[in-house]
Amino acid sequence: MNDYPPVDRLPAPEQYGRLHVRTTDLGPARWLTERAPGRGRFGTVAGVAAPGFASYARVLHPASLDERPVRWAAVAAAYGRELAPGTRWHEVIGMDEDYNNASEYGLPGLWDEHPGEGPTPPAVAEALIPVLARHTTTPERCWFGLWHGYGRWEFGHVPTFETPGREEVLLAGALSDAISPVSLDEFAELPDLWWPQDRAWCLGGDVDLTSTYIGGSHELIAELLALPDPETLAVAEGDRVG
């Protein structure tokens, strides 16, 4: 549900923001493609992030009211519904999966825009970066995956690596540069996948999701769950995603 202005596809850049586009040696992503049989399947938490971590968290992309973030829990409470770890946005607001079957759009005074579908929103990413940096020894050396099908840049001739259901362009840079693609233009997506060189954690998103998923240590996930924002829920690696 990304509403882009009509533009021609742009040539693949050598840098995506401050992240370097890798055109050779996709070896740093091999651990993601060599998944254990039966784990990390398409449509699961570990299929979005990566299997094998001690704990996992689901970070909810906020809804909004007048462009201000709104928590899912507040919306669920207004509709008299419970927010569980696997609850999807359309279930919160009583619509079908295509956001139909509602007499009104939004709820006056509470929300007027759905959560953003796609990779981690920049404001959410900005809140996550300091926490993620505390839980890796290599914050200055990180790797990123960007789905080649977003349509703004022509990555057709750039080599890709496979994740469940997607093909990703490999990017390299510091963790602090993860949000730098927005310097290209306001519609530039952040990478779907982030992981540090020491593989202490893995963050994953997807073009069709309104949540970001993170696998890591118990300590990392506990710190994320304790944050006042963004809104975060504990999940398991085999849980289904929206």
Structural domain spans, the chain: 11-61+116-235, 68-112
pTM, two decimal places: 0.92
Q: pLDDT digit of tens for each residue in the chain (242 aa)?
A: 444 444 566 777 788 999 999 999 999 999 987 765 556 677 899 999 999 999 999 999 999 999 999 999 999 999 999 999 999 999 999 887 777 655 567 999 999 999 999 999 999 999 999 999 999 999 999 999 999 988 777 887 899 999 888 999 999 999 999 999 998 888 889 999 999 999 999 999 999 999 999 999 999 999 999 999 999 999 999 999 97
Q: What are phi and psi of 213, to 5 degrees?
A: -120, 140
Residue 153: predicted pLDDT:
79
The bridge status of strand 142-147 relative to strand 193-196 is antiparallel
For residue 155, count CB atoms less than 10 angstroms from its CB and return exposed for 0-12, middle for 13-18, buried for 19 or more: buried
End-to-end CA distance of the chain: 14
Residue 40: predicted pLDDT:
64
Query: In whole angstroms, what is the distance from residue 192 CA to residue 146 CA?
Result: 5
Spatial contact of 168 and 149, defined as CB atoms under 8 Å apart: no
Residue 35: predicted pLDDT:
66
Residue 86: predicted pLDDT:
95
Residue 98: predicted pLDDT:
73
Residue 4: predicted pLDDT:
45
Place of tokens 């609850």: 87
